Amino acid sequence: MSSEGWVYTINHESRHLIIENVPSYGVIDELVDLCGIHGEIEEYRRLDTYPSEQFTQAYLISYSHIQDARTSKRKLNGYNFFSQLLHTRYAPEFESVHDTQQKLAQRRRDIGHKTGDPDARRIRLERHQQLLPSAPHAMLQGPTMAQLIHPVSIHLEVQSE
């Protein structure tokens, strides 16, 4: 499958990569050295039950940080490794609950950093919840996505009975 037209979400990404099409004649040390260029590797192992072509193997490479896995996936996909073109893919199925929590927390920090305020979303949501009317006859003229991103005053319209 080509990466063109494919959209990755945070759910698809992982600090775990499966690297396929690795020659099966004892090049694991070279593969680990190659992957280690892109970041600290916590774990690596051959995936014996993973389907692969004759004379090739698949390996799981687990990085310490998701950004290292992103870089490695981008750089190694299609890389000519001992006359074989490597195929890399994220492996979120190997994540623990803790890994997923860390990944989502890191994504929140990344977005906060890009918007200039790491606590901006939390503050905006708390502000929005405070403005919600408690009376059943009140109606909230809902904020637009732009208002949530760039807060402006939110108007309440109370309907008279």
Whole-model pTM?
0.65
Q: Who has greater pLDDT, 10 or 117?
A: 10
CATH code of the domain occupying 16-100: 3.30.70.330
* Domain chopping of the chain, boundaries: 16-100, 119-161
The average confidence (pLDDT) of the chain is: 79
- Burial category of 52 from C-beta neighbours within 10 Å (exposed 0-12, middle 13-18, buried 19 and up): middle
Q: Who has greater pLDDT, 123 or 12?
A: 12
| Digit-coded pLDDT (tens) for 50-66 | 888 889 999 999 999 98
Both tokens of 30, joined, read 């070279």
The rounded distance, in Å, linking the Cα atoms of 131 and 140 is 9
| Digit-coded pLDDT (tens) for 100-116 | 888 888 888 778 777 77
| Digit-coded pLDDT (tens) for 58-104 | 999 999 998 999 999 999 999 999 999 999 999 999 999 988 888 88
Q: Which position has the token pair 């990569």? A: 17
Output the CA torsion sign for 111, 114, 119, 125: negative
Q: Of 81, 40, 83, 80, which Cα lies nearest the Cα of 62?
A: 40
Output the pLDDT for position 22: 95
For residue 158, is pLDDT > 60?
no
Q: Of 47, 42, 49, which Cα lies nearest the Cα of 22?
A: 47
For residue 152, is pLDDT > 70?
no
For residue 16, is pLDDT > 90?
yes
Output the pLDDT for position 4: 66
